[in-house]
Amino acid sequence: MNATATTAEKRTGTPTLMQGNIALAEGAVQAGLRCYFGYPITPQNQIPEYLSARLPETGGVFVQAESELASINMVLGAAATGARVMTSSSGPGISLMQEGISFLAGDQLPCVIANIMRSGPGLGGIKPTQGDYYQATRGGGHGDYHTLVLAPANAQEMFDLTYKAFDLADTYRNPVLILADAILGQMKEPVIPEPPYPRLELDKDWALTGANNRPARNIRSMYLEGDDQEQHNYVLQEKYDRVRQEVPMWEQMDTDDADFVVVAFGTSARIASSAVRLARAEGLRVGLFRPITLFPLPEEALREMAAKVNGLLVVEMNLGQMVHDVRAILGPDKPVSFHGRPGGGVPTVREILEKIKENMV
């Protein structure tokens, strides 16, 4: 399934100039967000600031919790009632939430978590990075689980993918992570802040809504009897297999006749797209492949595209994370080179163009 990339110009409606963080927050409101729990951290503070005013207007609940640990466990409690809930944070805050995210995955509870990445490790800085790719795509907490991971690359996608994240969370009863960075959060672009399609309304026959003459329901991640825990893990894995089949999203630019393709997500993909355009202007047959879902990565589409090219260059704002997944997917025979800048460094268009030329031979 290839959901094409969404930018404001591909949608009908009246665009308004919106900051990425605000577009993300409004996308959540339009998706029917009922409860937000969070704790402040730069560079995502516009999300709670906006929702603190906006959610009460829609009858929703906004809570600034005392910590990230409290936030994620409030998310767990509210999600168990079947409400659409979210939190947002950045690097260190997301790390603090990992225990709760593991519980949400084990409990099979839907929620949306936005990580507007700041440069780490540790407290790090507030500049943009993609250093949390591993944490996001490996689950992040303890146990054999995944969160779905969506990587927007423009303000319209901050809106649209957040809107979609709630449907995916409900469909698969699983936490969905929005993985963006300080550039995508702080930048303003035209956005059509209207739902692209009606939101999914599922009957949540697992939600804790008060037993009221029906048999009691039980949401848990701990199974002590026999091989129940093992069986529970098979249930989760079967779900991730479905996710791998049904959810992959990506965008391709100029790949049809390409000899060489750059693979990048989010902000890196935006910068790489400018480099690809410059390369094309010089007559080089270069394309861009942008995964929109990072878990699941669009493996089949990547393989199919890569079969037609001589080599690839993965560009990331870290020192090499997604590149290892790309190499694992494509196997040892396909040359995959890498260019990255860590800790708040942002690759330049020229830098990427040079790397393309260097590795294209």
Partner 1 sequence: MQTELLMAGFGGQGILFLGDLVARTAMAQGMHVTYMPTYGVAMRGGTANCVVIMSDEPIGSPVMNEPDVALILNQQSFDKFQPVIKKGGMIVANSAMVSPDTFTRNNDLKLVMTSATDISREVTGREQSTNMAALGAWLATDDTLSIETVEETLRANLHPSKHALLEPNIETIRAGMAAVTSAATTA
Which positions lie near partner 1, rule CB under 8 A? 7, 9, 15, 17, 43, 126-128, 182-183, 186-190, 267, 270-277, 346, 348-350
DSSP letters spanning 157-170: HHHHHHHHHHHHHH
For strand 85-89 and strand 111-117, is the pairing parallel, antiparallel, or unpaired?
parallel
- Minimum separation from the CB atom of position 67 to partner 1 (A): 24
81-91 burial code (b ≥16 CB/10 A, e <16): ebbbbbbbbbb
Write phi, then psi, for 36 (nearest 5 degrees).
Answer: -120, 135
Alpha-carbon span 289 to 313, nearest angstrom: 10
**Measured from the CB atom, is 186 or 310 closer to partner 1?**
186
Q: What angle do CA 74, 80, 82 make, to 5 degrees?
A: 115
**Measured from the CB atom, is 17 or 319 closer to partner 1?**
17
- Minimum separation from the CB atom of position 272 to partner 1 (A): 8
- Minimum separation from the CB atom of position 270 to partner 1 (A): 5
- Minimum separation from the CB atom of position 344 to partner 1 (A): 9
**Measured from the CB atom, is 142 or 350 closer to partner 1?**
350
CB atoms near residue 43 (< 10 Å): 23
| C-alpha torsion 254→260→265→268, nearest 10 | -100
- Minimum separation from the CB atom of position 275 to partner 1 (A): 8
**Lookup: tokens for 290:** 């942008």
Ramachandran region, residue 78 (left: φ > 0; alpha: ψ -120 to 50; beta: rest): alpha
**Measured from the CB atom, is 17 or 123 closer to partner 1?**
17
**Measured from the CB atom, is 126 or 219 closer to partner 1?**
126
**Measured from the CB atom, is 23 or 111 closer to partner 1?**
23
- Minimum separation from the CB atom of position 127 to partner 1 (A): 7
Ramachandran region, residue 173 (left: φ > 0; alpha: ψ -120 to 50; beta: rest): left
- Minimum separation from the CB atom of position 250 to partner 1 (A): 17
**Measured from the CB atom, is 229 or 348 closer to partner 1?**
348
**Measured from the CB atom, is 315 or 336 closer to partner 1?**
315
Of 93, 178, 179, 175, the closest CA to residue 131 belongs to 179
**Measured from the CB atom, is 128 or 141 closer to partner 1?**
128
Of 174, 186, 154, the closest CA to residue 4 belongs to 154
- Minimum separation from the CB atom of position 6 to partner 1 (A): 12
**Lookup: tokens for 119:** 């440069």
What 8-state DSSP symbol labels residue 338? Answer: E
Alpha-carbon span 216 to 69, nearest angstrom: 28
